[in-house]
Amino acid sequence: MTRRDDENKSPTGEDDVKYEANAQTLMDAVDAILGAGALDEGAVGALLEVLGEPGSAEGLDVRVMLCVVEHPVVAGALRAGEVPAALEARLTEALAELAPLFGRWMAAPLAERAERLRQRYDAELHKYELVKKRLERESVEGGAQVLARYLDTAPAAMFARKMEVGFGEAYGRAEVIRSEEDRALLCNEELLELLAFEDSFGEAQAERLNELLAELVVRLDGAVERVVRRTLEGGASEAKLVAGALAVRQGLSERASALLAMVIHGDPYAHQAAVFAARLAPLLTLHVLGQFLVDVLKSTGVDEDQERHTEGAIVASRLVLPWIGSPIPEAGYAGKPSAHRIAEAVRRAWGFFDQG
């Protein structure tokens, strides 16, 4: 009995690379250990050596883990619930180490998590192979554009590393492209000041904000959607503020969920994010912010910084919800200086996007 045939060779053919050779050696060792078809004490001990200690400096290759858990001997024992405790514990730890590299999923039995890891690994491998074929036909500059888009899909680290090794010049250029795109969102202090929607915000400021957002769209040269997505998924708060405004300007309604996450998590720009989300997806915002206010009523104290940021989220939610169909009355904040200031900024932001 042996492992899956598609694991008998390196997916990239880079057999001279140490990383690949080590994985191949370990997978061959797994076949040898389980060749007798038994999970006896000796086989378990040898498999534990192959899998290594949790958190070891060398790290665990996902292919080695899949080779063990999918081997007919181990897979059969998993189905029968007969995997020795020590091996089951190490496999569980190994899956916990590797799972974050391939996205998130809910807790599940060991066999089911192993199956999901296989599915995600195969999907990442397929994506890698498709992009690799495209890169082999591209110039360095064209390849850089392809790689910039590929990196925006958050590929598993092992495949990003393969791209860097195989297409070093284009990969380096792709990183420069992405860095320049990220900087474009933060390089204009005037834009950030206008998006604060302070007391001085009037018709002239609204016109200027429109101009700056239009210029930024041109500067990003067709990359607005992916830059907005990338930023809202993991950028700094200031960058998210700009990305949110761009999302409304470009009608990127699928980004509303990320903006609502800013509100719920008490981002410093939660009140602007509430306006952006409401403009993009009013029904979703109605549901999410309504539930948010219910949860706030049930919550207890938070630290001072978080409380200040949460104030913006609460004030914005209380104002925005009636504007998008909620039966709750619009809140008034006269006599509460900080809340009043936030409320006025929310009204100005809402009015600005009323123009378009």
Neighbour count for residue 243 (Cβ, 10 Å): 25
Tens-place pLDDT, residues 305-345: 445 558 889 999 999 999 999 988 877 776 688 888 999 99
Q: What is the pLDDT of residue 246?
A: 95
Tens-place pLDDT, residues 23-47: 888 999 999 999 988 899 999 999 9
147 in Cβ contact with 171 (< 8 Å)? yes
Return the residue matching tokens 């981002």. Answer: 267
50 in Cβ contact with 68 (< 8 Å)? yes
Question: Confidence class of residue 103 from pLDDT cuts 50, 70 and 90?
Answer: low
Q: What is the pLDDT of residue 308?
A: 52
CA separation for the pair 86, 69 (Å, rounded): 14
What pTM was estimated for this model as a whole?
0.69
Q: Report CA 344 to chain centroid distance, whole Å.
A: 33
For the chain, the structural domain boundaries read 15-99, 111-178, 187-354
Question: Confidence class of residue 142 from pLDDT cuts 50, 70 and 90?
Answer: very high
Q: How far apart, in Å, are the Cα atoms of 18 and each of 25, 33, 71, 234?
A: 10, 22, 24, 33
